[in-house]
Amino acid sequence: MQKADNTVKPASRKSNHRLMGKIQSLLHSKWPNMTIFIKHRAEHGFALTIGTESVDLLFEKAVN
């Protein structure tokens, strides 16, 4: 019998890119004239820049 693994694991890079694409799409639909950049940062992170403001985002997979 195997023990349940309850550790938090990072989400896959593919799902992170998909999520960031959806976020970028939503932001562009709300503010079409605003400059929006999303850049891959680390293994599971991104830098989001809207106009002149920048923030780093780090994603982790939630445990159900």
pLDDT digits (tens, 9 = 90+) for 15-42: 777 877 888 888 889 888 888 888 777 6
User: Does the pTM of the predicted model rise above 0.75?
Assistant: no
**What are φ and ψ of residue 60, in 5° steps?**
-135, 150
For Cα atoms 6, 15, 54, give the angle at the middle one, nearest 5 degrees.
105
- Predicted confidence (pLDDT) at residue 3 exceeds the cutoff of 80: no
Per-residue pLDDT band for 46 (boundaries 50, 70, 90) equals confident
d(CA 53, CA 38): 12
Alpha-carbon distance 8 to 58, whole Å? Answer: 13
* pLDDT of the residue at 60: 65
Look at residue 9 and tell me whether its pLDDT is greater than 60: no
Confidence of residue 58 (pLDDT cuts 50, 70, 90): confident
Q: What is the dihedral of CA 61, 37, 49, 30, to 10 degrees?
A: -90
